[in-house]
Amino acid sequence: MKIGIVCYPTFGGSGVIATELGKALAEKGHNIHFITYSQPVRLDFFSENISYHEVAVANYPLFEYAPYESALTSKLVDVVKYEKLDILHVHYAIPHASVAWLAKQILATEGIYIPIVTTLHGTDITLVGKDMSFEPVVTFAINHSDGVTAVSESLKKDTYLNFKIEKEIEVIYNFIDLKRFSKKAKDHFRKAIAPFGEKLIVHTSNFRKVKRIEDVVHAFNQIIKTIPSKLLLIGDGPERTAIEKLCRDLGNCEHVRFLGKQDAIEEILSVCDLFMMPSESESFGLAALEAMACQVPVISSNAGGMPELNIHGVTGYLSNVGDVDDMAKNAIELLSDPEKLQLFRKNALDQAKKFDIHVIMPIYERYYQKVIDSVMAGQ
Ligand code: GMT
């Protein structure tokens, strides 16, 4: 198949999933065209089956806001037409789903019919998308996509709850490349960061409010009173300064390391004992899946799709959003019981294997074919 993929080219979960999916489909022999405003961060190798089309937004003194949507629409029309794409897969509803619909209408005037699949990722539904300033467009674009997928049952439910959706939504879970994300022998790194055998607790995110990183820091503050440990905070974003200040106020800076954005995250995860994800809302929790693949159990909130990934009492523990005491209690219990920790590590890996890219990618392939067939049948 010739597949166009539209996504945010950043470290965000939707961009990572879109890029990894495209890479895996290309490896399988499909022809993949990434259409994004800069090269996707995970698109780090050359393949004869992958092309990258950059969306350049022309600047003009009249534009207070660069018209990204118009530039992307024009680029989609161009790429679909000249590369003869079979299907367009757009990730994150805003603005990609409505842009794809407009491109489809333009192409139809020339007798070209391009099926559109929209994948809903999370905040496009649970946070930003349902805001009045976007809701009518998101509802329309979902209802006019030829296929719609959501990354968890919880996100599917939230979509039906928050929008008037007439379309059937297919759940296709996030996935992981277990070749890359596996426990690596990096003990020298562990010794450097925890020279006295301290336990290592880790959190990775884009440091947005929705991640509730303050809960990680407060829970950690309770944990270090019982268990000598270090906290590794990976990533960067708007909350970073506030979290640094919180550590200073709590006086635990010497035990907290801000590692910033990291490429080889799997190497750091490999030496960690616990992963914390106390998010306010989390449609799936790709970062937790990456930790689990590296045999790190998860202490998380029970928001959104987290219970579909992190199995309470098996791969980690779930707590109500904001229940820092419960998170700290669960972490202390697990860190002070080596046998249980070992069992949870194994369980975490077993659970991660269910989301192996080689299991999930063929589901997308079959879904694309189903959507193409139904669009062709309706012409
Ligand atoms: O909101 C983010 O953290 C980024 C966002 C995205 O779309 O880039 O992540 C969402 O999509 C990921 C991939 O499908 C999911 O694993 C994350 O759970 C989801 N984030 C939220 O729902 C907050």
C-alpha 122 to ligand 1 mean position (Å): 5
Nearest residue (CA) to ligand 1, atom 1: 123
C-alpha 303 to ligand 1 mean position (Å): 13
C-alpha 10 to ligand 1 mean position (Å): 12
Residue boundaries of the structural domains of the chain: 2-175+357-377, 187-353
Q: What is the pLDDT of residue 307?
A: 98
Does the domain spanning 2-175+357-377 belong to CATH 3.40.50.2000? Answer: yes
Span 242-280, pLDDT tens digits: 999 999 999 998 999 999 998 889 999 999 999 999 999
Q: Do domains 2-175+357-377 and 187-353 have the same CATH topology?
A: yes
User: How many whole angstroms separate alpha carbon 16 and alpha carbon 204?
Assistant: 14
Count other C-beta atoms under 10 Å from residue 242's C-beta.
12
Does the domain spanning 187-353 belong to CATH 3.40.50.2000? Answer: yes
User: How many whole angstroms separate alpha carbon 288 and alpha carbon 292?
Assistant: 6
Q: What is the pLDDT of residue 337?
A: 97
Query: What are the strands of the beta sheet with 316-319, ordered from one edge?
Result: 256-260, 229-234, 199-204, 274-277, 298-301, 316-319
C-alpha 172 to ligand 1 mean position (Å): 14
Q: Which atom of ligand 1 is nearest to the CA of 304?
A: 22
Q: What is the pLDDT of residue 326?
A: 98
Residue 302 CA, chain-centre distance (Å), reads 17
Q: What is the pLDDT of residue 110?
A: 97
Which regions of the chain are under pLDDT 70?
none
Q: What is the pLDDT of residue 376?
A: 86
C-alpha 23 to ligand 1 mean position (Å): 19
- Mean predicted lDDT score pLDDT of the chain: 96
C-alpha 349 to ligand 1 mean position (Å): 21
Q: Which atom of ligand 1 is nearest to the CA of 15?
A: 8
Q: Which atom of ligand 1 is nearest to the CA of 279?
A: 23
Nearest residue (CA) to ligand 1, atom 14: 121
Q: What is the pLDDT of residue 129?
A: 83
Q: Which atom of ligand 1 is nearest to the CA of 119?
A: 14
pTM assigned to the model: 0.95
Nearest residue (CA) to ligand 1, atom 13: 13
* Ligand 1 pocket: which of 90, 120, 121 to mutate (most atoms within 8 A of CB): 121
C-alpha 75 to ligand 1 mean position (Å): 26
C-alpha 16 to ligand 1 mean position (Å): 10
Residues with CB under 6 A from ligand 1: 12-14, 17, 92, 121-123, 126, 151, 174, 206, 210, 279, 281-286
